[in-house]
């Protein structure tokens, strides 16, 4: 497997040929070959990655098509506002951390309270996907960040649902 470093993050192909789930090219890898390929990433290592999603190749027409819904300046402003929310949250609580990604168990319990509906959704995902305690905490940290980007004070079902969706490899390859 050949992960690529991009801004300190890791990227990898879904199969040896690199065309798994590609709309333009056909993958000739068999399911057992794909399974062996992705199994090279151990479950415990994968568990330590906050977000893992499949990103399909962008089609030419999409590249040349309509403008993005949000421009870079708008996105940047939203990210800076979310970072400021996090900075204030942790300063007010006298924590020695600066971002949601740095939260430990104690901070997760303090800053990621769930409504009964969100709690049920997370519990169902944990059971159905066989997620670990580490994956549980990572989902909550990502959901907290999603809420911060939205400007929401508390976590809601949509934040938890979106964060769960960012655990694609758990669902695709390591679930039951």
Kindly tell me if the per-residue pLDDT of 176 is higher than 80: no
**pLDDT single digits (tens) 67-119:** 667 888 999 999 999 999 999 999 988 889 999 999 999 999 999 999 999 99
Kindly tell me if the per-residue pLDDT of 131 is higher than 60: yes
**Environment class of 163 (CB within 10 Å of its CB; exposed 0-12, middle 13-18, buried 19+):** buried
Q: Domain ranges for the chain, please list them.
A: 4-64, 72-174
d(C-alpha 133, C-alpha 140), whole Å = 11
**pLDDT single digits (tens) 107-126:** 999 999 999 999 999 999 99
Q: Give the H or E element holding residue 136.
A: helix 133-150
**Environment class of 43 (CB within 10 Å of its CB; exposed 0-12, middle 13-18, buried 19+):** middle
Task: Please state the pTM of the whole predicted model.
Answer: 0.74
The pLDDT value given to residue 11: 55
CA-wise closest residue to 159 among 147, 168, 148 = 147
Buried b (16+ CB within 10 A) or exposed e, 137-159: bbbbbbbbbbbbbeeeeebbbeb
**pLDDT single digits (tens) 38-60:** 777 767 777 777 777 777 777 77
For residue 172, what is the DSSP state?
Answer: I
- Of 9-13, 39-43, 59-63, the poorest mean pLDDT is in 9-13
The pLDDT value given to residue 124: 96
Q: How many CA atoms lie within 13 A of 86 on its CB side?
A: 26
């Amino acid at each position: 497997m050949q992960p690529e470093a991009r801004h300190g993050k890791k990227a990898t192909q879904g199969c040896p040929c690199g065309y798994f789930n590609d709309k333009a090219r056909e993958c000739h890898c068999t399911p057992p070959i794909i399974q062996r390929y992705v199994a090279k990433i151990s479950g415990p290592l994968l568990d330590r990655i906050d977000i893992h999603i499949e990103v399909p190749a962008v089609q030419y027409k999409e590249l040349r098509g309509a403008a993005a819904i949000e421009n870079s300046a708008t996105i940047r402003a939203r990210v800076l506002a979310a970072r400021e929310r996090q900075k204030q949250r942790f300063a007010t609580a006298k924590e020695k951390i600066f971002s949601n990604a740095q939260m430990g168990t104690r901070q997760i319990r303090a800053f990621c309270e769930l409504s009964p509906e969100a709690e049920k959704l997370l519990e169902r995902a944990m059971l159905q996907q066989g997620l670990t305690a580490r994956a549980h905490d990572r989902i909550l940290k990502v959901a907290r960040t999603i809420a911060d980007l939205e400007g929401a004070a508390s976590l809601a079902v949509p934040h938890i649902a979106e964060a769960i969706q960012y655990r694609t490899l758990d669902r695709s390859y390591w679930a039951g």
